[in-house]
Amino acid sequence: ASQLATDSSCSEPRQWKELFDECGKGSQSPINIVTRKVMTDWNLQPFTFEGYDTKQSAKWVIENDGHSVKVTLEESAKIGAGSLTMKYKATQFHFHWGSHGNWGSSPGSEHSIDGERYAMELHIVHRREDVSSDAEAVKHEDGLAVLGFFIKVGRENTNYKPLIDQLHKIDVKGKKGEMEPLLLKSLIPHEKNLTRYYRYAGSLTTPGCNEAVVWTVFEEPIELSQEQVEAFPNTIHFSANPLLRLTDNFRPVQPLGNRTVYKSNA
Ligand code: SG4
Ligand code: ZN
């Protein structure tokens, strides 16, 4: 894997490969998951989420990096099992979303299932515990493990209120805020509903598109209300200009090529 990009300001995903070789390679993310072609892997056991139910001691830093809303974590939560050969520490999470207008809404998830996309997608990024930085992690094909959770429109999710209430403080690119840490567990579906998931080898979905990610996409979506979903494109701007809204910050699906998508046996 080549080096990690430090500036991905180029906004048009089709052109990424001209600047970043790896964005044009054959094991890219996201993908469309075709359920009739996935293979059951009997080793894909339920995950263990260590520290997902422990309140972190340091404040969370929430940031508008111009591409997403990102929360940097104290590296204390860990995932294991799910056939991962090593433990991985949670380093940050961020969201992908679509757009909304008088004409209706368009979905913003990155992955799709049988061509169907969801309103949003949450990515919890984890780094292999024996690797000390993202720059180091992208040199290994399993350096990072990202957990992808679909978000669908439904009931209001009060667990998300403290986070969504912060968005106005990071309305333009480069702004950061501090917030009281939440339990990671409170942001994702109940563990008993996370036994069904898809697994494949892929990449970061932004430049340099490093093929260093063990992807897990869970079947069970998170629910947020329409208003909570709309808060992202309505509040976040992609530059210093508070007129230019950050919408549709997802990469289109990439060819599966000769890869196989596996499904847990639950
Ligand atoms: C977002 O732009 C994050 O803010 C980035 O975080 C992240 O890059 C990037 O998405 C790609 O992540 O799970 N969608 S993804 O493949 O995690 C990394 C940072 O820049 C390296 C730290
Ligand atoms: Zn992402």
Q: What's the pLDDT at 64? A: 97
| Ligand 1 atom nearest to 148, measured from its CA | 13
Torsion of CA 53, 55, 61, 66, to 10 degrees: 10
Out of 125, 147, 246, mutate this one to test ligand 1's pocket (max ligand atoms within 8 Å of CB): namely 125
Residue closest by Cα to atom 10 of ligand 1: 206
Arithmetic mean of pLDDT, 14-23: 90
| Ligand 1 atom nearest to 96, measured from its CA | 14
Asked if pLDDT for residue 40 goes beyond 50, the answer is yes
Q: Which of 34-38, 60-64, 87-91, 98-102 has the lowest mean pLDDT?
A: 98-102
SS3 162: helix
Q: Which ligand is nearest to the CA of 67?
A: 1
Bond before 30 cis per omega within 30 degrees: yes
Asked if pLDDT for residue 11 goes beyond 60, the answer is yes
Which two tokens mark 124?
């919890």
Residue closest by Cα to atom 17 of ligand 1: 125
Q: What's the pLDDT at 5? A: 56
pLDDT band per the 50, 70, 90 thresholds, residue 128: very high
pLDDT band per the 50, 70, 90 thresholds, residue 200: very high
Asked if pLDDT for residue 6 goes beyond 90, the answer is no
Q: Which ligand is nearest to the CA of 143?
A: 1
Q: What's the pLDDT at 66? A: 93
Q: Which residues line ligand 1 (CB under 6 A)?
A: 65, 67-68, 70, 92, 94, 123, 125, 134, 146, 204-206
Q: Rounded to 5 degrees, what angle do the CA atoms 219, 221, 223 make?
A: 170
Give the residue from 247, 245, 110 showing the smallest Cα distance to 171.
245
Percentage of residues in the chain having pLDDT higher than 70: 96
Asked if pLDDT for residue 102 goes beyond 90, the answer is no
Ligand 2 centroid – CA 95 distance (Å): 6
Asked if pLDDT for residue 252 goes beyond 90, the answer is yes
Q: What's the pLDDT at 148? A: 98
Asked if pLDDT for residue 26 goes beyond 50, the answer is yes
Ligand 2 centroid – CA 255 distance (Å): 18
Ligand 2 centroid – CA 253 distance (Å): 13
Residue closest by Cα to atom 22 of ligand 1: 92
Out of 6, 138, 204, 253, mutate this one to test ligand 1's pocket (max ligand atoms within 8 Å of CB): namely 204
Arithmetic mean of pLDDT, 160-176: 97
**Pairwise pLDDT comparison (242 vs 139), residue with the higher score:** 139
Q: What's the pLDDT at 85? A: 82
Ligand 1 centroid – CA 133 distance (Å): 13
Q: What's the pLDDT at 8? A: 45
Model ipTM over 0.90: yes
pLDDT band per the 50, 70, 90 thresholds, residue 4: low
Q: What's the pLDDT at 229? A: 98
Q: Could you give the residue numbers annotated as active site?
A: 67
Q: Which of 6-15, 86-95, 212-221 has the lowest mean pLDDT?
A: 6-15
Alpha-carbon gap, residue 11 to 134, rounded angstroms: 22
Residue 186 class from Cβ within 10 Å (0-12 exposed, 13-18 middle, 19+ buried)? middle
Bond before 174 cis per omega within 30 degrees: no
